[in-house]
């Protein structure tokens, strides 16, 4: 009986894996088409100066609407893109699209802000990443000072000289670098002082937790102090409430991003927002 049961479980397991594989494969195929048929879209979320309430820049966030599967969140399709190698194509598409948008906003509204693009660790680690980026900058004629790269703390875990050199090269090109989702990487903190990064983005989970007590606020405050001691700026991610905003202000956080100010907006909504705030 036991053997039989195990056999059945195995069968079930095999079918499940196969089903998952098929789903992932279907998504991968659709994603490939989406990239090459220009079916992806960037939305933009403002980053706000906590003191002046002014927009200091925005983050480009990828959106994918499939005619059959509907809206698919990046947390679902980015891992598939990473596993299948599509992530480099996606990353380059995002860089190119955001660069063209920066130019468009400059011409249309005289906007001279920085747009941040998320780059996956797998893409960032590609040997040709810098050269490809350079050619996108040349091709789109974007000013590097208007371009920011967000890399997650996870990318920093394979900490070595090559990685430091890569970040230095980006800085030499005139780009700004942020560490995204800071506090979730479980990595040693010692890498921070060796990396010429400009900004730490405190992960949303820390911001949400502040309401649960003083020790959580102390954590956020400590991250802010650490960043400042290393001459970095701080962005708090996912700010949704007045309460969070007030605490962050009190603890000298300089920039915030979150639904409290604005959700990520598609270009036409963003343009309306810009026209209203002219």
Binding site for ligand C2E (CB under 6 A): 45, 61-62, 73-75, 78, 94, 118-120, 150, 180-181, 237-240, 257-259, 264
Q: Which does 155 bind (CB under 5 to 8 A by kind): ligand C2E, Mg ion, none?
A: none
Contacts of 98 (CB under 8 A, 6+ apart): 42, 60, 115, 117, 147
DSSP state of 159: -
Closer residue to Mg ion, CB minimum distance, 237 or 244:
237
Residue 70 Rama label (left phi>0; alpha psi -120 to 50; beta): left
| Shortest separation between residue 101's beta carbon and ligand C2E, angstroms | 13
For every residue of 40-81, DSSP letters joined together read EEEEEEEEEETTT--EEEEEEEEEEEETTTEEE-HHHHHHHH
Q: Is 118 in the site for Mg ion (CB under 5 A)?
A: yes
Residue holding tokens 């040709």?
128
Residue 165 CB, nearest approach to Mg ion (Å): 23
Which span sits near Mg ion by CB under 5 A: 45-53, 84-92, 117-125, 164-172? 117-125
Residue 185: name its binding partner from Mg ion, ligand C2E, none (Cβ under 5 to 8 Å by kind): none
Q: Are strands 55-66 and 70-72 parallel, antiparallel or unpaired?
A: antiparallel
CB 256 within 8 A of CB 235: yes
Interface residues for Mg ion in 136-165 (CB under 5 A)? 150
Closest CA to 149 of 109, 189, 98: 98
- The residue (of 15 and 33) whose beta carbon lies closer to ligand C2E is 33
In the complex, what is the shortest distance from the CB of residue 236 to ligand C2E, in angstroms, rounded to a whole number?
10
Residues 254 and 234: beta-carbon distance below 8 Å:
yes
Q: Which does 61 bind (CB under 5 to 8 A by kind): Mg ion, ligand C2E, none?
A: ligand C2E
Closest CB 22 distance from Mg ion, rounded Å:
28
Distance CA 200, CA 9 (A): 46
Binding test (CB under 5 A) with Mg ion, winner from 92, 148, 153, 180: 180
Q: Which residues make up the interface to Mg ion (CB under 5 A)?
A: 118, 150, 180-181, 237
């Amino acid at each position: 009986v036991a053997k039989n049961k195990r056999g059945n479980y195995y069968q079930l397991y095999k079918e499940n894996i196969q089903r998952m594989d098929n789903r992932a494969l279907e998504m991968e195929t659709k994603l490939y088409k989406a990239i090459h048929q220009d079916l992806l879209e960037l939305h933009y979320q403002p980053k706000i100066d906590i003191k002046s309430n002014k927009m200091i820049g925005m983050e480009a966030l990828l959106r994918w609407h499939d005619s059959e599967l509907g809206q698919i969140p990046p947390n679902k399709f980015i891992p598939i893109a990473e596993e299948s190698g599509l992530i480099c194509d996606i990353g380059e598409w995002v860089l190119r699209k955001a660069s063209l948008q920066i130019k468009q906003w400059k011409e249309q509204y005289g906007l001279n802000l920085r747009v941040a693009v998320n780059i996956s660790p797998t893409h960032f680690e590609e040997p040709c990443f810098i050269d490809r980026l350079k050619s996108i900058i040349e091709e789109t004629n974007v000013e590097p000072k208007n371009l920011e790269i967000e890399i997650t703390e996870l990318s920093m875990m394979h900490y070595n000289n090559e990685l430091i050199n890569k970040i230095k090269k980006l800085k030499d090109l005139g780009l700004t670098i942020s560490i995204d989702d800071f506090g979730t990487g479980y990595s040693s903190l010692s890498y921070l002082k060796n990396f010429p990064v400009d900004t730490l983005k405190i992960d949303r989970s820390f911001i949400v937790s502040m309401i649960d007590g003083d020790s959580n606020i102390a954590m956020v405050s400590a991250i802010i102090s650490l960043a400042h001691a290393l001459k970095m700026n701080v962005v708090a991610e996912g700010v949704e409430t007045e309460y969070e905003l007030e605490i962050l202000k009190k603890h000298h956080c300089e920039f915030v991003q979150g639904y409290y100010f604005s959700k990520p907006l598609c270009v036409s909504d963003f343009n309306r927002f810009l026209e209203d705030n002219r």
